[in-house]
Amino acid sequence: MARILAVDDEKCILNLVKRVLEKDGHQVRTLSDPAALSMNGLEAFDLILLDVMMPGTDGFTLCRKIRENVDCPILFLTAKTMEKDIMYGLGIGGDDYITKPFGNGELRARVAAHLRREKREKRSVLSLDGIRFNLGAHEMIIGEQKVSLTKSEYAICEFLARSHGQVFSKEQIYEAVYGYEGEGDSSAIAEHVKNIRAKLSVYGCAPIETVWGIGYKWQ
């Protein structure tokens, strides 16, 4: 069973998606107004279906916002089949397209395929002192709780944890997380680390140590 979010301004499409996927045992939440979607709690979903052409906030814009918070598969529901549209959607964080009109079988098959892939990837795990990283899913787990981290925060944690005990400067962390062509300033790393520490302190964890004059390390 998976938790699935479907966003489409056409309620008939939402009803179809809900009916078909719930028959496969999934929990499906539907939303017809994209403006009403909160970015909080999106990490609870295993897969997200987004219509592309919606009034107000289109699916591409919504995908960008969602991708900043979660790494689950995002599938577009769309009547737009131009190659440039497909390439654009995949380039901003989408994982696949389901072209309207679609059959029940295609919907079920594509959703199942992406969920299987996610399940396989989640088997890759790194554990350090009670903190578990699901490397394929880009998730941090403490106890039985998934820690709510942004994509950048998770990337910083994973990078430091993979080389625990080694000290890295802010510049080295920035280059590892964003690449040499990343836009921004390495001083942003300090702000991310502050936010990470605040989130982990709730669980009584403080794995990131400041090495004054040099940078940070995962203890």
Q: Which residue, of 70, 105, 121, is where some domain finishes?
A: 121
Number of domains in the chain: 2
Q: Which residue, of 95, 121, 147, is where some domain finishes?
A: 121
Please check whether residues 22 and 105 belong to one and the same domain. yes
Please check whether residues 103 and 131 belong to one and the same domain. no
Residue 129 sits in a domain of what CATH number? 1.10.10.10
Mean per-residue pLDDT, 150-165: 90
Mean per-residue pLDDT, 142-166: 90
Q: Which residue, of 121, 151, 181, is where some domain finishes?
A: 121
H-run or E-run covering 106: helix 104-121
**What digits encode the pLDDT tens for the residues 78-134?**
886 667 777 788 888 888 888 888 899 999 998 998 888 777 666 678 888 889 998
Distance between CA atoms of residues 144 and 137, nearest Å: 15
Please check whether residues 162 and 69 belong to one and the same domain. no
CA distances from 159 to 151, 154, 172, 176, 208 (A): 12, 9, 10, 7, 11
H-run or E-run covering 154: helix 151-162
Range of the domain at 170: 125-218
Q: What is the pLDDT of residue 123?
A: 60
> For residue 101, which amino acid is it?
P
